[in-house]
Amino acid sequence: MPRDLPLGNGTLLINFDSAYQLRDLYYPHVGKENHSTGGPFRFGVWTENNFRWITDDKWSRALDYEHDTLVTRVTLAHPDLALQLVCNDAVDFHENLYLRRIDVTNSAPRARQVRLFFSHDFHISENEVGDTAYYEPQRRAVFHYKGPRWFLICGQRAGAECQVDQWATGLKEIDGREGTWRDAEDGVLSGNPIAQGSVDSTIALHVDLNAGETKTLYYWICVGTDFQTVTRINRIVRERGAQEFIDRTAAYWRLWVNKEEYDFDDLPHDIVHDFKQSLLVMRTQIDNGGAIIAANDTDITSLVRDTYSYMWPRDGALVAHALDLADQPGLAQRFFNFCASVITEEGYFLHKYNPDGSLASSWHPWYENGEKELPIQEDETGLVLWALWEHFDKFRDVEFIKPLYRTLITRAADWMANYRDPQTGLPLPSWDLWEERRGVHAFTIAAVWAGLNGAANFADAFGENDCTDRWRSAADAVKAACDKYLWQPNANRFVRRLSQRAAGGYDVDWTIDSAVYALFQFGMYPPDDPHIVATMQNLRDRLWVKSNVGGMARYENDYYHQVSQDIANVPGNPWFICTLWLAAWHIAKAKNADELKPALDIFHWVAAHSLASGVLAEQVNPYTDAPLSVSPLTWSHAALVTTVLEYLDKRSEMDLCPTCGNPRYSRELGKLRDEHTHHHHFQHDAHD
């Protein structure tokens, strides 16, 4: 089930599923620890001896965010209850505090009492052993704790005292016990004050409503490492009012996402909306310690017994690049510092990392065919250097780069320059970006080339000519080898992979793969190079999904979450990133506005296939359009942000001033070259 509404502040992350159940509660890192382990925190409503959990099929639900912010707007109605609810959820931008405002409207022609029930299925620190739940009468709140993880749960009717009206704590998952949420279904909780072991809790808030009347209630969870921390947060909520924290959080995120004034030109409203929402969703998936997490949808655990809650250096580099393009360099800086802290002494990145910097799980072996091999995806090392150079080229933050030059840049560049076949100049085999096969891959070649050139640019800036020459020479050799081995004239395209033979030489993998786009995306070839044009047209023809859904597949006969064996029409499920790669190519090669239209069509496709909240999954079902795999995927949102900004830049290049021939608008005035031009375009900004 997708996570329609992520909310977070970089330390506390809350996820809701499509039924509006709270399903994930991560603290103290985004992606670690998940104190619900994906189990539902249930929400139910009772009135006149009629009870319904929010998962009941008769609820009508609309899940969205308030405009330009990380505060939800969820509308709910149930015909049997004759009630309407409007909910606003927020994770405070500063405190580790989750809040919900609920406006309850009585649609019945009579006065009655409504009771809202909230259950809490904690597995503190990702297991149920040794938890404690208790009711505390001084604060009239419920606590859950284990070790250095504390949670305080409270609420109030607007204008009334802060307190829960009912509570129950009890055992779950033991001897067939389901939990205290079952106790709620008659509208009355037991009042059991404490339970330890595998426990849960349920609270209720009551409100009396006249016919047609609307009243407001608040519910919140304070999160911290000890009793003093959560009670301090609870105290300031009681003193200042829950609404203040919701309002200030809404204001903060509107400020954050609108800090740059973009000229969106001809972009339709739905695309602009999804662009801004993508920036906000990306932020929820980034830990304050620098780790950019791939995804935090724990439902994937049921398939592979693992999650996406890791930092892959490749995904992180591409997300950091999107953030840099969007003028959010602080988050990118944290990511690069994180990379410097985890890179090996030899100069490469391993498969993936936990949000706290420890090494994550992996399925890449250290041993094969009687010999040691590196369990790496070399593109991850290359793309970090590429993204770091792009960052420095844009912001020129010399003081930030200085400590990274020896710890990250030179270490990784020397390793990549040496990790090559001395006969061909190609990178030695590693795992592909899809983590499925080992070999020498087009995507990896492009990333290594870009990383080596980025490092050479740094060396040139730091005046280390020997390093400049060594790394630039290695990059040139990689490109020459790509020309020789990956371009296949008989097929009129670049191929995705070469497999090294034991006796020497390479076997060609002829599978059509969208990742070949990297050969132009990272600068190795211009987008209008005839070889690139032929390759991209081939990808478009062979990988576009020929169903009513459309979109680009990863590669031919993609097995991951495969829905169809009709490979000719459905080569794989549509992926947002792969579809946006096609848009990126159309943008890069466009010479006029008409040549940008295919990219605009793809933006419309993305907007049409996102969730109502703007959340993008990894992939969608080629027949039903339902989200598949994890949702949201941070990389999907980064791809949209990057491609939209590339589109805006290309449009600005085409809108030339008739007087001087320079662009009338640029997102970066720093691109304009002299003081006269700066002055001239400031005048245009003022008068056009």
Same structural domain, 400 and 334:
yes
Strands of 94-193, DSSP E: 97-106, 112-120, 131-136, 141-146, 149-157, 166-171
For residue 255, the model assigns a pLDDT of 97
Quick check: 526 pLDDT over 60?
Answer: yes
When pLDDT is averaged across residues 413-431 and rounded to a whole number, the result is 97
CATH of the domain at 128: 2.70.98.10
Query: Rounded to the nearest 5°, which phi and psi values hold at 309?
Result: -80, 60
Percent of the chain with pLDDT over 90: 89
Same structural domain, 327 and 200:
no
CATH of the domain at 402: 1.50.10.10
For residue 395, being part of any structural domain is answered with: yes
Domain boundary among 501, 526, 551: 526
Q: pLDDT band for 681, please (50, 70, 90 cuts).
A: very low
- Cα–Cα distance between 224 and 233 in angstroms, integer? 9
For residue 622, being part of any structural domain is answered with: no
Same structural domain, 160 and 245:
yes
Same structural domain, 327 and 252:
no
Domain boundary among 526, 557, 576: 526
- Cα–Cα distance between 516 and 498 in angstroms, integer? 13
The model carries a pTM of 0.94
- Cα–Cα distance between 213 and 114 in angstroms, integer? 12
Same structural domain, 218 and 360:
no
Half-sphere exposure of 599 toward its Cβ, with a 13 Å CA cutoff? 28
When pLDDT is averaged across residues 420-433 and rounded to a whole number, the result is 96
pLDDT for 179-221, tens place per residue? Answer: 999 999 999 999 999 999 999 999 999 999 999 999 999 999 9
| Total count of residues recorded for the chain | 688
For residue 459, being part of any structural domain is answered with: yes
Same structural domain, 252 and 322:
no
191-211 exposure pattern, b = at least 16 Cβ within 10 A, e = fewer:
ebeebeebbbbbbbbebebee
Same structural domain, 253 and 318:
no
pLDDT for 155-174, tens place per residue? Answer: 999 989 999 999 999 999 99
Same structural domain, 431 and 369:
yes
Out of 117-121, 226-230, 259-263, pick the least confident.
Answer: 259-263
Domain boundary among 495, 526, 557: 526
For residue 557, the model assigns a pLDDT of 97
pLDDT for 588-608, tens place per residue? Answer: 999 999 999 999 999 999 999
- Which two tokens mark 288? 């304050």
- Cα–Cα distance between 667 and 274 in angstroms, integer? 19
Same structural domain, 119 and 188:
yes
Quick check: 100 pLDDT over 50?
Answer: yes
When pLDDT is averaged across residues 533-541 and rounded to a whole number, the result is 98
For residue 302, the model assigns a pLDDT of 65
Same structural domain, 192 and 130:
yes
Same structural domain, 342 and 456:
yes
For residue 285, being part of any structural domain is answered with: no
- Which two tokens mark 91? 């994770």
| C-alpha dihedral (563, 566, 567, 569), degrees to nearest 10 | -100
pLDDT for 122-136, tens place per residue? Answer: 999 999 999 999 999
When pLDDT is averaged across residues 250-270 and rounded to a whole number, the result is 91
When pLDDT is averaged across residues 501-527 and rounded to a whole number, the result is 94
For residue 365, being part of any structural domain is answered with: yes
Q: Which domain holds residue 209?
A: 57-257
For residue 1, the model assigns a pLDDT of 62
How many CB atoms are closer than 10 A to CB 478?
Answer: 28
Q: pLDDT band for 678, please (50, 70, 90 cuts).
A: very low
- Cα–Cα distance between 628 and 621 in angstroms, integer? 6
Q: Are 162 and 40 in contact (CB under 8 A)?
A: no
β partners of residue 155 = 219
- Cα–Cα distance between 116 and 399 in angstroms, integer? 54
**What's the total number of domains in the chain?**
2
Query: Rounded to the nearest 5°, which phi and psi values hold at 13?
Result: -125, 130
For residue 464, being part of any structural domain is answered with: yes
Average pLDDT over the chain reads 94
Contacts of 188 (CB under 8 A, 6+ apart): 166
DSSP3 helix / strand / coil % (the chain, rounded to 5): 40, 25, 40
Same structural domain, 321 and 253:
no
For residue 683, being part of any structural domain is answered with: no
For residue 428, being part of any structural domain is answered with: yes
